[in-house]
């Protein structure tokens, strides 16, 4: 479960940019929150039938004054990890969409990006690591990851 501050920005990030698909959504009027369950496209049928594997985005609605809780000290989450077919291609595509590569895939195996809610997303190369290559090899870390 990941608590998100802006549901639209988070859905754009997780669905439009990372390629996850919305499986289901539940609005809880009494509790003033929305749950959105997402899955990888290859896991969609299993996620619909078994409710897993999914990522749950929890959006707590603003209070009556319009303010929202700030999620500090890990109240929102640690990090997620996804395996990708080609770490370099994935990072290039993300960068082209304006996503900062916080920890570039210098080793051909691992990279980190962050969601709109500053959740660290670890990207891992499926199978064997790729041979190190530029521009990734000499690219420094950016911000926190």
Enumerate the active-site residues.
122
Place of tokens 């039938």: 49
Cβ contacts of residue 39 below 8 Å, gap of 6+? 20, 21, 23, 46, 47, 53, 54, 55
Q: Read off the DSSP letter of residue 119.
A: -
Q: Which two tokens stand for residue 36?
A: 């959105």
Separation between Cα atoms, residue 7 and residue 62, nearest integer Å: 12
């Amino acid at each position: 479960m990941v608590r998100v501050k802006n549901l639209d920005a988070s859905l754009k990030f997780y669905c439009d940019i990372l390629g996850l698909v919305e499986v289901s959504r539940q609005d809880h009027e009494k509790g003033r929150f929305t749950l959105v369950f997402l899955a990888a496209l290859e896991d969609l049928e299993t996620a619909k039938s078994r409710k897993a594997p999914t990522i749950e985005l929890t959006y707590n609605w603003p209070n009556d004054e319009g303010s929202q809780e700030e999620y500090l000290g890990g109240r929102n989450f640690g990090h997620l990890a996804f395996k990708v077919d080609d770490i370099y291609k994935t990072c290039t595509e993300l960068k082209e969409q304006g996503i900062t590569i916080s920890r570039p895939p210098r080793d051909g195996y691992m990279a980190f990006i962050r969601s709109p809610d500053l959740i660290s997303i670890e990207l891992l190369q499926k199978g064997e690591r790729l041979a190190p290559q530029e521009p990734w090899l000499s690219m420094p870390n950016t911000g926190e990851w």
